Structure 1
Amino acid sequence: MENKSPTRTIPILPDELWWGGAVNDGYSMPYQEGFSYNMYGDNKGNQVQPLLISNKGRVIWSEEPFQFTFLENAIAIQDAKGEILQSTAGKTLKEAFDFASSNYFPADGKIPHELLFTAPQYNTWIELMYNQNQKDILAYAHAIIDNGFPPGVLMIDDTWQENYGKWNFHPERFPDPKAMMTELHGLGFKVMLWVCPFVSPDSDEYRELAKDDLFLRNPKDAKIAAAPWIEPSQPAMIYWWNGASAVLDLSNPKAETWFKDELNRLVTEYKVDGFKLDAGDFYFYPDHLISYKEGTSPNDQSALFGEIGLDFPLNEYRAMWKMAGKPLAQRLSDKGHNWKDLQTLIPNITGQGLMGYAFSCPDMIGGGEFSSFLNTKTIDQELIVRSAQVHALMPMMQFSVAPWRILDTEHLDAVKETVELRKKFTPYIMSLTKEAAKTGRPIVRTMEYVFPDQSFETMKHQFMLGDNLLVAPVLNKNITKKEIQLPNGKWKDASGKTYKGGRTITVETSLTTLPYFEKI
């Protein structure tokens, strides 16, 4: 998509700091001089919002993607695909967010399925990887119960299906999927299936869908290996992490109908409860390809994929464009099993909230990159515990690697304590979730959002759950003491001890300690 829009320069006010853009840049927020990002065609593996908001109450918004660069005393807006709107909504980050939310992505009053918030989620990816099968899925589900964990949402990940686009249970790995679903439901689980917008070539589904022109196509002048039966405008092959596939062109209503029909068939025939809708990243829709609706951008295609989930209250996404305020569960991108990645969870998930994506999940406990768990000798048991503690007081809590398989008794008990702590605060989490559905306000909030002008602008190791619960997880290995900055006011810790705010305190941090403080 060509655009010759001139550079627009917006002066930065004294002591003004900015948030917004790509969720995966949360750790870089608030932005410093030299930071630059072009949101057209690149979602950095996570959600994006065409929004910048400041701690001085200012808002920059566009309905279309743009590039922003932070200069010494200004923001340069370049390559804007649409009108850039600039507003002054007040004097704080919260006022800026409230203005943006109510004017550009108002909450629609709905939430994803409550079970995503009220119980832990369990994803089969780390344990089974590319061998999803009925026997081991049932064993995993029973192990959850047998090891004292409560049932919740169970997500069956990639390779349950016959092929990409052939959304049937693989007959060899799932000899009786209906019986499996009945058993899982009997254990108290809701079941989600992994799906994506890709269709494998050389399949019956591909040939049928290609006849109806349901894929993105190569341009007519594309250079393709010569063969007399090949025309340049054939469906494009998109290279992604599992090979090369055709990708649904959701600007064609027939493609949307086909995909939704497939999902609804799984709901009807197998009693599937919902879907993990993976991929959908902007870069899987290169803008040189031909879409059914002329001018559909890579970002637009991602948003169209996001709209699919609105039909299914049990949903999960990782890639997203401009769907804030909607009842969609938004997961952070896959994190490695290391302390550095653990330290990104707070700034990234608070960044999500500031962009209107309130219904958020901080990836999988211990990390979602399966290669980290191939060798049990490299697993850091303390890291699993500290990761679970970060999850415990966030909107959602998702396990994948089985704690009972990789942890000794001491560390497993510490993880179980996080689940029990979450139960204590579940009513509060649900009240914030329902509030977010009405107001759009974040569930997990930056310190600056709640306590402006108290020097919390760059705080990345503490967060607020709502306005009343300060959470300060341990984010480094072998930490026995942690400094915590308390805002003004009175605060009470888990033991009932009270503190006067407006100062820094030091607390002991044993393996089972998750420091949190309730505002009095």
Structure 2
Amino acid sequence: MWIQRYLTIYGVITRKIRRNFSYYLVKGDTFWSESPIKYSFKSGEIIVTTRDGNLLSGKAGKNLKDVYDYCVEHFFSPNGKIPDESLFTKPQFNTWIELQYNQNEDDILAYAKSIIDNGYEPGVIMLDDTWQENYGVWDFAPRQFKNPKAMIDKLHEMGFKVMVWICPFLSPDSKEFRFLAKEGMLLLDLQETQDIMWSNTKDKAAIIRWWNGASACLDLSNPKAREWFKGKLDYLQEEYGVDGFKFDAGDADFYMKGVVSKNAKTPNDHTTYFAQMGLDYPLNEYRASWKMAGLPLAHRLRDKWHNWSDLQKLIPDITSQSLMGYAYTCPDMIGGGQVAAFQNSSTLDQELIVRSAQVHALMPMMQFSAAPWRVLSPENAKLCKEAAQLHVEMGDLILGLANISSKTGTPIVKPMALAFPDDGFENIKNQFMLGDTILVAPILHKSTYKRQVVLPKGRWKADDDKVYKGGNTIIIDAPIERIPFFRKIG
């Protein structure tokens, strides 16, 4: 997920040059910007620059928790709502890696059946790209879906909730394109050689290159375009029983090359308009947001590759996202979301998939795409199922933490320095807290079967029932079948 509007830091302002700030890092001070920023670290200083807007700084206490609580109160207060409960309590299943660009009724039902047949709890199933007739034609492709309503009814009977993939793009030169262009609901090309007025350029739609080619794009800063888009989503719910939507794309990058819109002032504004669409649909998922912290949107971390380096990024990425006010988070797809990694079994790292599932198990959400029973040995597939079962067992706890977050802004997943702000844990990036009482210390490196765990003060009961005195560092055994975590018991 992309960084949103602010940076919470430890800083004291030392000088101010126009809109370029330099800070020494000191605990308890804050920095805030309502506009996009550029920042860098060098020799104990942070340099922050913005092209427009104000840069705010001030004292907010003596540690990270004080700073975070201040930001919740002043900048991103929650609204008392959470995304759909099923996103937290059971594993999610995305059809992308199994079906890729061949989403179809028969294979979707077969995938759903195999989930249950292999002992997994039915939760949310996400139908990914190409279920639709075309980009911008948000209806089931008739050649691939004989009876989409009956298919969704069947998935509901099996215990699933159904999400479908959508994006703000639409195929050019289609009937929908010509209608939306005529009505002024598309982003337009920047005409640099003349003054631009919305009224006389509305037919010159911008074509944006993205990972699926070159497409026109809705101008969601235009209320008419938002109304049109919402009408398509509501139709899918009313006609077929679709439960929610995976809102893909929307990244500010797509709006960086001088597009003209009705109301947006910056590329990030387009991301906000797209994110706001999800507030009407509790079952949602996003990969990009701007100024939506504290609100009931589920955010997936940016795509991860099938390698150990990206697995090691999960904890710092998800805890950083928590500190930005996004509590309802999913750490991408288990084992990574890149199709190529799963097309050649000889290059597939089974241990990586198992350890990835174990990291996900004690995070707010976990999402499978590649079917473990297809790509793994029976032994390793069993370990993934056990990780999924642990997540289900923790579901009520995670849901409770989500509800607390919706009222107080307290993250579900916390970096150690937020949960224990005065204990010097700022540099710990390979373990995290689930709430205030569960410390999670997963394995993040290949062929590693022991690990060091830093235990805060108190008494801690491990997943193997051993009890440890905190306030020190311990070494534990962590064979591949173990997910190391500790409960605070005193």
TM over 0.5: yes
After superposition, where does 1:319-398 map in structure 2 within 5 Å?
A: 319-398=288-367
Asked if the contact 2:181/2:202 (under 8 Å) is kept, the reply is no
Which of 219, 242, 249 is the equivalent residue of 2:219?
249
Going from structure 1 to structure 2, the CA distance change for 1:222 and 1:157 (only over 3 Å counts) comes to farther
Deviation at 1:51, TM superposition (A): 2.3
Residues 153-197 of structure 1 show CA distances to partners (whole Å, capped at 9, x for unaligned) of 000000001110000100001111111111101100000000000
3-state SS of 1:320 partner: coil
Aligned counterpart, 1:95: 66
Asked if the contact 1:112/1:313 (under 8 Å) is kept, the reply is yes
Deviation at 1:71, TM superposition (A): 3.5
1: CA distance, partners of 2:397 / 2:458: 20
Larger CA deviation: 376-385 vs 189-198: 376-385
Q: Which amino acid aligns with 1:306?
A: A
Name the Cα RMSD after superposition.
1.6
* Aligned length, in residue pairs: 469
Residues 315-361 of structure 1 show CA distances to partners (whole Å, capped at 9, x for unaligned) of 00001111000000000011111111100000000000000000000
Asked if the contact 2:8/2:67 (under 8 Å) is kept, the reply is no
Residues 431-461 of structure 1 show CA distances to partners (whole Å, capped at 9, x for unaligned) of 1111110111111100111112333211111
2: CA distance, partners of 1:308 / 1:465: 29
Aligned counterpart, 1:216: 187
3-state SS of 2:486 partner: strand
Give the unaligned 5+ runs of structure 1: 1-22, 24-45, 224-229
Residues 52-74 of structure 1 show CA distances to partners (whole Å, capped at 9, x for unaligned) of 33371222112211222323343
2: CA distance, partners of 1:74 / 1:388: 37
3-state SS of 1:70 partner: strand
After superposition, where does 1:54-203 map in structure 2 within 5 Å?
A: 54=10, 56-203=27-174
3-state SS of 1:52 partner: coil
Deviation at 1:231, TM superposition (A): 7.5
Aligned counterpart, 1:502: 471
1: CA distance, partners of 2:448 / 2:39: 38
Deviation at 1:287, TM superposition (A): 5.5
Residues 383-431 of structure 1 show CA distances to partners (whole Å, capped at 9, x for unaligned) of 1110010000000010000001011121111111112222322221111
Asked if the contact 1:287/1:297 (under 8 Å) is kept, the reply is no
Q: Which amino acid aligns with 1:78?
A: T
1:403 aligns with 2:372: yes
Aligned counterpart, 2:7: 51
Asked if the contact 2:35/2:50 (under 8 Å) is kept, the reply is no
3-state SS of 2:8 partner: strand
3-state SS of 1:518 partner: strand
Larger CA deviation: 494-503 vs 336-345: 494-503
3-state SS of 2:452 partner: strand
2: CA distance, partners of 1:74 / 1:243: 41
Q: Which amino acid aligns with 1:381?
A: Q
Going from structure 1 to structure 2, the CA distance change for 1:236 and 1:385 (only over 3 Å counts) comes to same
1: CA distance, partners of 2:50 / 2:325: 24
Q: Which amino acid aligns with 2:187?
A: L
1: CA distance, partners of 2:228 / 2:63: 46
2: CA distance, partners of 1:286 / 1:477: 39
1: CA distance, partners of 2:87 / 2:193: 45
2: CA distance, partners of 1:49 / 1:83: 12
2: CA distance, partners of 1:447 / 1:93: 10
Which of 239, 247, 254 is the equivalent residue of 1:269?
239
Q: Which amino acid aligns with 1:318?
A: R
Asked if the contact 1:317/1:328 (under 8 Å) is kept, the reply is yes
1: CA distance, partners of 2:363 / 2:187: 38
Q: Which amino acid aligns with 1:242?
A: N
Asked if the contact 1:60/1:86 (under 8 Å) is kept, the reply is yes
Going from structure 1 to structure 2, the CA distance change for 1:158 and 1:464 (only over 3 Å counts) comes to same
Asked if the contact 1:222/1:232 (under 8 Å) is kept, the reply is no
Asked if the contact 2:272/2:290 (under 8 Å) is kept, the reply is yes
1: CA distance, partners of 2:149 / 2:44: 62
3-state SS of 2:7 partner: strand
1: CA distance, partners of 2:398 / 2:225: 37
2: CA distance, partners of 1:515 / 1:86: 39
TM-score normalised to structure 2 length: 0.93
Aligned counterpart, 2:456: 487
- Percent identity reads 55
Asked if the contact 1:130/1:158 (under 8 Å) is kept, the reply is yes
Aligned counterpart, 1:15: none
Give the unaligned 5+ runs of structure 2: 11-25, 195-199
Going from structure 1 to structure 2, the CA distance change for 1:256 and 1:148 (only over 3 Å counts) comes to same
2: CA distance, partners of 1:232 / 1:413: 56
Deviation at 1:103, TM superposition (A): 0.5
Q: Which amino acid aligns with 2:95?
A: T
Aligned counterpart, 1:414: 383
Q: Which amino acid aligns with 1:53?
A: I
3-state SS of 1:244 partner: strand
Larger CA deviation: 106-115 vs 379-388: 379-388
Aligned counterpart, 2:15: none
TM-score normalised to structure 1 length: 0.88
1: CA distance, partners of 2:40 / 2:383: 44
2: CA distance, partners of 1:417 / 1:231: 57
Asked if the contact 1:342/1:475 (under 8 Å) is kept, the reply is yes
Which of 255, 262, 279 is the equivalent residue of 1:292?
262
3-state SS of 1:432 partner: helix
Residues 246-265 of structure 1 show CA distances to partners (whole Å, capped at 9, x for unaligned) of 11111110010000110000
Deviation at 1:232, TM superposition (A): 9.8
2: CA distance, partners of 1:389 / 1:506: 19
1: CA distance, partners of 2:472 / 2:184: 63
